[in-house]
Amino acid sequence: MKFPFHTLLNPSNKRIPREMHRSPKTITKQALKKVRSFFSTPAASASIAAASSSSSSSSTAAMDDLQTLKFRLCIIGSGPAAHTAAVYAARAELKPILFEGWMANGVAPGGQLTTTTDVENFPGFPEGILGFELMDRCRKQSVRFGTEVVTETVNRVDFTTSPFKVFTDSKAVLADSVIVATGAVAKRLSFPGSGEGSGGFWNKGISACAVCDGAAPIFRNKPLAVIGGGDSAMEEANFLTKFGSKVYIIHRRNEFRASKIMQNRALSNPKIEVLWNSMAVEAYGEQGKEVLGGLKVKNLVTEEVSDLKVSGLFFAIGHEPATKFLNGQLQLDSDGYVVTKPGTTETSVRGVFAAGDVQDKKYRQAVTAAGTANAEEVFVLGCMAALDAEHYLQEIGSQTGKND
């Protein structure tokens, strides 16, 4: 661990008196004396800890070069949970600011729903709605009620002091309360044909959410495949048997890591077949159509590559929560999700709340992000976060008055 030498000599960061500009020998003696004195004080360990982290003083210094804004509530995120929180907070006249990011974690503003086509399990749209259109409506509703939406990505925060500090490349926000709703990104495999654009079949038969997309007409009564070996893969494979004629589970090992009960459900389903010790190495299209037609599957034991005719492929290899920018300032679980107090959106820092997929590992759907265990719940989480933040602001006396 390194510390600027002048910080040790002059922890208060005051200008060094002119008398100290003396000979190198004198300066060295004085330096050593101050260093020994510094390390012998009870505050030494605290000063070192502060120097090794994003301290309040360093954050304040960094703000000097940025446009500084003051708000009672700052929302970080752009998905259903973030915009639900924004609508509720704005209607409570908290006048929140929302950072929707710009291609944060490789996803456009609007979150994971912008990567899907038809959303058919969202209440209020009996004919379905395009994912990007749904999120565009959410954004317009947030703005309508007074949310200031900024298309910049938050790259760091300082929750060590109040007001909290939220930073982008050009702005620094001082906020009395913060809602983290940055979501989680589905992990995807990369091989020829798995991506977007020319020659790729992402959203043309390849997806990372069976529950979101599995009921689409292009998958009905067709053979489908799931890649993965955990509980999510078992659950998604079983779910897909409601629509597909057959479901293959492609797994690179000779045993699943899923729980026994989930394994048994999958293995006992007559419509599911497991391809052990195998991996997809290429996706190709259906002849004459720009949709998935099949996969090249390699057996890792025999190294034989075979054709697997499927109309749908679903990655079920886990999610990665977007929490790196927090830099350990909130308590996270072993998988990197924000830990919240049961039944609330409260995090380990009072005044900071979390909603949606960034803290909800179990129910990773638009409706849950916008609430909690079913169609009433991804919306519920956003609503809960806004209400929790409002109550907190009332407690600290910040709800009245106006933003600077």
Instruction: List the catalytic residues.
Output: 209, 212-213
Residues 6+ apart with CB under 8 A from 254: 276, 277
DSSP for residue 42: T
CA-CA-CA-CA dihedral for 138, 166, 385, 209, to nearest 10 = 60
Q: Which amino acid belongs to residue 394? A: Q
Distance (Å, rounded) from C-alpha 222 to C-alpha 244? 5
φ, ψ at 74 (rounded to 5°): -120, 130
Residues 6+ apart with CB under 8 A from 255: 229
Distance (Å, rounded) from C-alpha 107 to C-alpha 183? 11
Distance (Å, rounded) from C-alpha 238 to C-alpha 231? 11
Residue 16, both tokens: 């060094």
Closest by CA to 99, choosing from 167, 52, 177, 162, is 167
Q: Is the peptide bond before 163 cis (omega within 30 degrees of 0)?
A: yes
- Other CB atoms closer than 10 Å to residue 126's CB: what's the count? 7
191-205 in b/e burial notation, b at 16+ Cβ within 10 A? Answer: eebbbeeeebbbebb
Closest by CA to 263, choosing from 239, 299, 233, 225, is 233
Contact yes or no for 178/74 (Cβ under 8 A): yes
